[in-house]
């Protein structure tokens, strides 16, 4: 213990005999000011090192050896004013030629398919997720009464045809009688009255035959009309697409117009998947950086790692005063079954420089 105290005593700085007392101005030295500053810093460092070494020496800490203290003193102290690499990376300027907006996948061609007439659903031939083609049957309505009317119209056609055949036979006979009577009249073997009656009968049959032919045409038109009415009881797909919603069941009443109550207005909802695109809202302040044909990268919320190439179709020429945004339509350059209507999407407008730059 005595040896350690002697060692500490040897590290202390003794006051020189000629050092002036407190309050007395020291004598002027011939050394320049910078040399004095360096000396003061050296004395402070020596005192701190001596105190640390002495404390560690008294407590028996072997890490406080003179060599280790010297190495520690040689290491530079980090300065608060010096930025680190992480700070530099964090404050690096971000590119300003891109613009990000969010929106949804929408279908430009979609329809709630309904019948052209009011009727009771007999069969629904589709379900959600089914792919259909244009003209394919989706549902059938009860067409019992329409079928009866069609059969009646067909019967009228048959009746008109039979009447025409009978009148045609009568007319041929009347024309033969007229020709014979006219021949006899020339030979004075038939009176003028007989000739006149033969002529009148032939003219009457010609008129009746003409009327029967007109009735036949009307009956045929009625058949065509009733056939179309029966066909209207079949609901068909207006275009190629996918059924995304089934709105009616057998036994329900559907109508092309809403009638209230339990009346349905459609059988199913059909979407043309080839017409899918992205609609996003762009802030008015940034709309000048968007132009038709501009390259875009779209990312679906459901598939964040899938970047879909796209391009701007058009900037809709109308602003939303409530949100201060303008709608932009974006075309997807790749068609994929994973893209579904109403999916959320984020798009990045590439090379989004202000107009004129």
CATH number at 261 reads 2.40.50.100
Average pLDDT over residues 126-141: 94
For 318-327, the CB contacts below 8 A with 24+ separation are: 319/284, 320/281, 323/281, 324/283, 324/284, 325/281, 325/282, 325/283, 325/284, 326/281, 326/282, 326/284, 326/287, 327/279, 327/280, 327/281, 327/282
Same domain, yes or no: 287 and 149: no
pLDDT in tens, 281-327: 999 999 999 999 999 999 999 999 999 999 999 999 999 999 999 99
Single out the residue in 168, 203, 232 at which a domain terminates.
232
Same domain, yes or no: 122 and 261: yes
Residue 49, pLDDT > 70, answer: no
End-to-end CA, the chain: 81
Same domain, yes or no: 322 and 252: no
Residue 244, pLDDT > 60, answer: yes
pLDDT at position 11 is: 59
CA distance 317 to 58: 84
**Mean pLDDT of all residues in the chain?**
79
pLDDT at position 183 is: 77
CA distance 166 to 271: 57
CATH number at 288 reads 2.40.30.170
Residue 84 domain-assigned (yes or no)? no
Which of the residue ranges 190-199, 207-216, 304-313 would you say has the lowest mean pLDDT? Answer: 190-199
Spatial contact of 149 and 226, defined as CB atoms under 8 Å apart: yes
Same domain, yes or no: 228 and 296: no
pLDDT at position 197 is: 85
Same domain, yes or no: 184 and 259: no
What is the pTM for the complete model shown?
0.58
Tokens of 80: 């608060």
pLDDT in tens, 85-126: 444 444 444 455 789 999 999 999 999 999 888 999 999 999
Total domains in the chain come to 4
pLDDT at position 245 is: 92
Tokens of 225: 């009309």
Same domain, yes or no: 266 and 129: yes
Q: What is the CA radius of gyration of the chain?
A: 52
| 167 CB-contact burial (10 Å; exposed 0-12 / middle 13-18 / buried 19+) | buried
User: What is the domain extent for residue 340?
Assistant: 99-109+274-349
Tell me the H-state helices in the chain: 2-11, 33-59, 66-74, 85-90, 144-186, 192-232
CA distance 311 to 293: 6
CA atoms within 13 A on the CB side of 84: 5
Same domain, yes or no: 157 and 217: yes
């Amino acid at each position: 213990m005595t040896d350690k105290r002697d060692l500490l005593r040897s590290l202390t700085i003794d006051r020189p005999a000629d050092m002036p007392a407190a309050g007395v101005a020291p004598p002027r030295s011939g050394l320049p000011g910078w040399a004095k500053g360096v000396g003061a810093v050296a004395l402070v460092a020596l005192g701190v090192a001596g105190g640390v070494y002495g404390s560690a020496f008294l407590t028996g800490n072997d890490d406080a050896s003179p060599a280790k203290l010297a190495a520690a003193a040689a290491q530079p102290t980090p300065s608060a004013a010096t930025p680190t690499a992480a700070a530099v990376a964090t404050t690096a300027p971000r590119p300003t030629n891109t613009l990000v907006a969010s929106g949804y996948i929408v279908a430009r061609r979609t329809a709630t398919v309904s019948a052209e007439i009011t009727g009771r659903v007999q069969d629904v031939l589709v379900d959600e997720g089914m792919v259909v083609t244009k003209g394919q049957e989706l549902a059938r309505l009860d067409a019992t009464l329409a079928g009866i009317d069609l059969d009646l119209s067909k019967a009228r056609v048959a009746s008109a045809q039979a009447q025409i055949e009978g009148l045609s036979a009568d007319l041929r006979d009347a024309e033969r009688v007229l020709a014979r009577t006219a021949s006899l009249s020339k030979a004075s073997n038939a009176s003028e009255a007989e000739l006149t009656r033969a002529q009148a009968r032939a003219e009457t049959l010609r008129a009746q035959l003409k009327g029967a032919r007109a009735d036949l045409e009307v009956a045929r038109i009625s058949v065509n009309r009733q056939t179309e009415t029966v066909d209207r009881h079949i609901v068909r797909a207006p275009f190629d697409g996918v059924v995304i919603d089934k709105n009616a069941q057998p036994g329900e009443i559907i109508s092309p117009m809403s009638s209230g109550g339990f009346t349905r207005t459609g059988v199913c909802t059909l979407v043309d998947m080839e017409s899918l695109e992205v609609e996003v809202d762009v802030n008015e302040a940034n709309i000048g950086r968007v132009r038709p044909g501009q390259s875009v990268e779209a990312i679906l919320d459901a598939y964040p790692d899938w970047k879909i190439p796209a391009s701007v179709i058009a900037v809709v020429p109308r602003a939303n005063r409530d949100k201060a945004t303008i709608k932009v339509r974006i075309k997807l350059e790749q068609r994929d079954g994973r893209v579904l209507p109403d999916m959320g999407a984020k798009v990045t407008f590439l090379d989004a420089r202000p107009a004129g730059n």
